[in-house]
Amino acid sequence: MQLDELERLMSRMPRELCCTTLLPEFGVRWRDMAKAIRSARMSMTSASIAKIVCRKVAKNLPALTVDEIIAKLRLQMVAIQNRIWHVINLQEPLGEPWEPDELPERLVDALTTARVSKNKHSEVQTVQLGDLVFVSIQLKSEVRCSAPVYLAMPLGLPVALVSSIKANGLLQACVLGLGYKTFSDANLNGRHIPSLLRIHGGWDENQGYMTEIPKYDPVPIVTKTGIDYTNKAYDEHYVNTILGPDPPLLTDLHITTSKMLFNNVDDKLINLKAHFSSQDIAKTLKTFVSKGSLAPNSELLHILHTAKSNRLENYTESE
């Protein structure tokens, strides 16, 4: 049963991840694995790697070792899955920052001390992928177990990404285990972790392409086919300048604001709410501009350039 689950999980992973992170867990070199796959006349896929590992290597390992590898494998699957992550700020450091090797013990001690749930023990698994450490925390008893809570943390930064912001007691205990007293919700969420970290850390401050938003002043531009008097080429260049060469990937944007009524006679405010949802907000806005549905100097493009959150309340252009 263990080997069946191990083979199923390995088959679902990218081949590159199997080679770089899983084979070392079994003490197998890629050279030997590739030779075994060719000898068995199988294709170079994750499924082939999984079959050979389970039939020739994992069956000789103790059951406890296989369980640990399966737990790490599940966590690695979480790291590559398309899920929503919520950014939290870690505040008021209590001592030395955490290290990856000591993280499981620190989290278990914090959960035990906080007594998050009676009659349940905590299971903590960690795995490091690049500069990110992923953590899985689950409370279990003899008859039932809670839904796991996942964390992703960059090394050396007072910030974490969590799979759920609602497990407040569990999160508070985890924050103590990380060496901080409390945390706050950054009101920032999405599916692309690098983009979330760039936005949280001030992604526009680390880009040298622009220090301030340029003035919109359309002029004819010489193109390969002649002179463009329609301003289409200028608008495209202007929008690319606003968003930058590599804008963060956001899937949702909520905006609440108040604007003066277009009728100058009536001195009244009108409340506006907007919710954008797409696979890539920046790409969608660029498409709107190219089709003439959105002005190139629209405040929406400024928001995407300056925002530190994808939920903006009482937004003004100065933000």
List the end-to-end C-alpha distance of the chain, in Å, as a whole number.
Answer: 56
Question: Does 202 fall in a domain?
Answer: no
Please check whether residue 269 lies inside any domain of the structure.
yes
- Give yes or no for a contact between 171 and 181, defined as CB atoms under 8 angstroms apart: no
Is position 193 within any domain? Answer: yes
Helices 299-306, 281-290: axis angle to 10 degrees equals: 160
Number of domains in the chain: 3
Residue 128 burial (C-beta neighbours within 10 Å; 0-12, 13-18, 19+):
middle
Q: 295: which 2 tokens?
A: 């002005």
Range of the domain at 225: 207-315
Q: Are residues 275 and 230 in the same domain?
A: yes
- pLDDT at position 89: 92
User: Are residues 74 and 28 both part of a single domain?
Assistant: yes
Query: Residue ranges of the chain with pLDDT lower than 50?
Result: 203-209, 318-319
Q: Which residue has the tokens 């914090």?
A: 110
Which amino acid would we find at residue 23?
A: L
- Residue 89 lies inside a defined structural domain of this protein: yes
In-domain check, residue 132: yes
Q: Indicate whether 66 and 146 sit together in one domain.
A: no
Q: What is the largest CA-CA distance in the chain?
A: 84
pTM over 0.75: no
The answer to whether residue 264 is domain-embedded is yes
- Residue 76 CA, distance from chain mean position: 13
Indicate the length of the chain as a whole number.
319
| Domain identity same for 94 and 178 | yes
Which residues, 6+ apart, have CB-to-CB distance to 100 below 8 Å? 126, 128, 133, 155
Domain boundary among 197, 222, 253: 197
pLDDT for 314 equals 65
Residues 96 and 154 placed together within one structural domain of the fold = yes
What is the residue whose two structure tokens read 């301030």?
A: 212
- For residues 219 and 137, state if they share a domain: no
Task: Say if 141 falls within a structural domain.
Answer: yes
Same domain (yes/no): 91, 154: yes
- Residue 219 inside a domain? The answer is yes
Are residue 248 and residue 269 in the same domain, yes or no?
yes
127 and 220 in a single domain? The answer is no
* Same-domain check for residues 30 and 54: yes
